[in-house]
Structure 1
Amino acid sequence: MKHKTLLLMLAGIGVLALMVLLIGPEQIESAIKMANPWYLVLAVIIQVVIYGLWTERWAVTTSSVNISVKRRHLFPMLMVGLAINNLTPSGRGGGEPVRAYILAKYSNSPTENAFATVMADRGLDTFPFIALVVFTIIAAVLYLNLPQWMVVALAICLVVLIAIFILALYMSLNREFGDRVIRWFLRILKRISEKTHRKFEQRAINAVEGFQNSMKVMVTDRKVLLYGIPLSFLIWGLEILRVYIVFAALNVQAPVGIIAAVFVISTLIGMIPLLPGGLGAVDGMMIVLYSYAGISPSVSAASTIVERLISFWMTSILGMAFLPYFGADAMEKLSKKL
């Protein structure tokens, strides 16, 4: 792990530690000690089920372009990608190229096809996320009593998210538009480095063509849409349920609407490429927003710490544990990301 990434992680942990000190470590510790262990076990089981559903959804996109790989092999690839997303300050996107690289190498498939399956898999998340952002804006107005600027910021995020999704989809399906975009980037690259431009020009054009062909196959595959979109809604529903169970373990019946709103806002914060996995920023925002909604700061902090131990740290540890399974090449690829 490079020094920069390590320092950013320590900075994130420092932010969280500061909030814990401000709230009171004794109060937070007391809230955690009162937690029902069986509920916490249930929250962990829900997280494991989510891993399985993520794997199943990715399997839908890989089978659509005839990439033959078993789910028991997709699962560790997925976990490595999730861990890299958590541990790199890349807006939760650093793990996708590594996932595609490992899938292409393991299945002997073209890299552009493998990358298309990863992008399609992530793209399926857009549908439930947009629905939840709309819900969050309503909940923020009615329940969270957020400042007006924050509600406006959420509305802007929604518009930008939809615009980016439509643009990316159009670029993936329209070859002429995709070519224009990639050539625009290549012209910028040429101004920076003539040598690098010559090296990557034809490779980039061919890669975009292969990527577009794969995306067209998946978008026209009814199984991807009819199976993948409901799976995405189920996954997001289970993520919110996991948080609800953590609150229930602390003997707090937090409204599902509040949990969903905070979950969406914290996810948006986590996409900002400042700290690895939004470490510190996400945790702090969750604590503040739960407190805004009327939940005591000590319980807000306790639930956030426990929830992040399950969703962030458990995922990161499992992903890193699977990394040696794919050999030295994958570990070298990771070292370039960190």
Structure 2
Amino acid sequence: MLRRTILLFLMGMALIFVILYLVDPMRVWDEMQNLSVKFLMIILSIQILIMLLSAIKWRVILMNSSVSIKDIIPATLVGYLVNNITPFGLAGGEPVRAYILSRACGIRLSRAASSVIVDLFLEIFPIFALILISITLIILGGEAESIAIILGLVGFGLFILSAGIITLTTDKNLILIITKKLLNLLERIPLMRSYSKKKMMDVNGVSVRFESAMREYMGNVRVLVLGTFVSIIGWVLKFLRIYLIFIAIGYRISITSLIIVETLVLALSFIPILPGALGTWEGSSIALFMLFGVDSVIATTVTIIDRFFFYVFPSILGIIASLYCGVNLSKIIK
């Protein structure tokens, strides 16, 4: 897995270098000089708030468990890092952060794992609204219908995923299948190999506890409402972050174009191709912004700056958090 991850990471970096070469890196660098320290600090603060909200949302889900936010924050940061270095879409870090929280707080892995699945559900739910808004804006604005079709297909895929998560509260056979697949996935990670083998011997018991936790979380209206509210605030801040980057370099982009482009790129990033969607995120963002009339240099500059704040910065914090948690990264991607 380590060789494959490194190879895919290098492929992603190569794509970024090709994009920069085609656009002209010196012009991109010149545009970056327009980013003032004031805007830099505002955008950085927004990104920090986004990450804190992610931890708070997870704490909301675990409101009835004896879990401290000081344990949730480092587990969340390690999850960001694993998402960015493994080719599993934007959900590769979920099993790892569940394991870290389970170990740090002494709660069962079945409860921790079910909480991250509910967390993923609450993260996906607002995307449906964004997709519907984007499709409506495309139709009303007379934009390319092909984009609306792609959004519709991605939305359907996310709907199937969400329906599957809801089904986990009622279908015992599906829960058992998912539990086995989850344990098999954990066995592929050296850090959790011995633990997953041990739990596989009691897979039926793990499945029952997993079902119980899923019912508890998904049946708690307070968890769903508060969690969704926090998730929506997080998404608003993500759009605000990139909008401010455009403003910071002196370009006024329409809110409509921004919503459509970011929603489509975000939805596509769930497809597990390259680690952290490295290269594919940049390429699709730039191409779509250009489709909506943004100059290639501006589109590239904004995308690179935005990626630094939500890819590089969280990854650095994730490395620090992994050291704090005593997690050996080589045993995750090996």
Q: Percent identity?
A: 26
Change (3 A) 1:180 1:51: closer
Change (3 A) 1:179 1:48: closer
1:102-160 deviations in Å (ceiling 9; x for gaps): 111111111101111111111111221110111222334455843x4443222111112
- Name the residue aligned to 1:213: 212
Question: Partners in 2 of 1:97 and 1:306 — Cα distance?
Answer: 29
One-letter code aligned to 1:251: G
Indicate the larger mover: 156-165 or 234-243. Answer: 156-165
2:84 touches 2:276 (CA, 8 Å); kept in 1? yes
Question: Partners in 2 of 1:335 and 1:2 — Cα distance?
Answer: 9
One-letter code aligned to 1:247: F
- Name the residue aligned to 1:48: 48
Confirm or deny that 1:127 pairs with 2:125: yes
1:186-208 deviations in Å (ceiling 9; x for gaps): 9x9xxxxxxxxx98765332222
Confirm or deny that 1:83 pairs with 2:81: yes
Secondary structure of the structure 1 residue equivalent to 2:328: helix
2:179 touches 2:207 (CA, 8 Å); kept in 1? no
1:175 touches 1:209 (CA, 8 Å); kept in 2? no
Confirm or deny that 1:59 pairs with 2:56: no
1:179 touches 1:205 (CA, 8 Å); kept in 2? no
- Name the residue aligned to 2:156: 159
- Name the residue aligned to 1:275: 274
One-letter code aligned to 1:47: Q
Question: Partners in 2 of 1:26 and 1:144 — Cα distance?
Answer: 35
2:130 touches 2:263 (CA, 8 Å); kept in 1? yes
Question: Partners in 2 of 1:125 and 1:107 — Cα distance?
Answer: 23
Q: CA deviation at 1:91?
A: 1.3
Q: CA deviation at 1:94?
A: 1.8
Secondary structure of the structure 2 residue equivalent to 1:331: coil
1:58 touches 1:118 (CA, 8 Å); kept in 2? yes
Q: CA deviation at 1:181?
A: 4.2
- Normalised to the residue count of structure 2, the TM-score between the two structures is 0.89
One-letter code aligned to 1:242: R
Change (3 A) 1:276 1:254: same
Q: CA deviation at 1:185?
A: 6.9
Question: Partners in 2 of 1:119 and 1:161 — Cα distance?
Answer: 13
- Normalised to the residue count of structure 1, the TM-score between the two structures is 0.88
Indicate the larger mover: 294-303 or 118-127. Answer: 118-127
- Name the residue aligned to 2:134: 136
Question: Partners in 2 of 1:132 and 1:234 — Cα distance?
Answer: 13
- Name the residue aligned to 2:228: 229
- Name the residue aligned to 1:289: 288
Change (3 A) 1:95 1:184: closer
1:46 touches 1:238 (CA, 8 Å); kept in 2? yes
Confirm or deny that 1:306 pairs with 2:305: yes
Structure 1 residue ranges without an equivalent (≥5): 189-197
1:63-84 deviations in Å (ceiling 9; x for gaps): 23x2x22212211110001110
One-letter code aligned to 1:215: M
Question: Partners in 2 of 1:81 and 1:40 — Cα distance?
Answer: 25
One-letter code aligned to 2:295: S
Aligned length, in residue pairs: 323
Secondary structure of the structure 1 residue equivalent to 2:14: helix
Question: Partners in 2 of 1:183 and 1:14 — Cα distance?
Answer: 37
Question: Partners in 2 of 1:182 and 1:36 — Cα distance?
Answer: 49
Q: CA deviation at 1:184?
A: 9.6
Change (3 A) 1:33 1:268: same
1:81 touches 1:99 (CA, 8 Å); kept in 2? yes
Change (3 A) 1:168 1:241: same
Question: Partners in 1 of 2:274 and 2:178 — Cα distance?
Answer: 29
One-letter code aligned to 2:161: I
Question: Partners in 2 of 1:201 and 1:48 — Cα distance?
Answer: 38
Question: Partners in 1 of 2:156 and 2:39 — Cα distance?
Answer: 37
Secondary structure of the structure 1 residue equivalent to 2:276: helix
Please show how residues 1-338 of structure 1 align to structure 2 within 5 Å: 2-64=2-64, 66=65, 68-143=66-141, 145-146=143-144, 148-170=145-167, 172-178=168-174, 181=177, 203-327=202-326, 330-331=327-328, 335-338=331-334
Question: Partners in 1 of 2:16 and 2:87 — Cα distance?
Answer: 17
Question: Partners in 1 of 2:328 and 2:268 — Cα distance?
Answer: 28
Secondary structure of the structure 2 residue equivalent to 1:63: coil
Q: Indicate the RMSD between aligned Cα atoms, in angstroms.
A: 2.5
Change (3 A) 1:205 1:257: farther
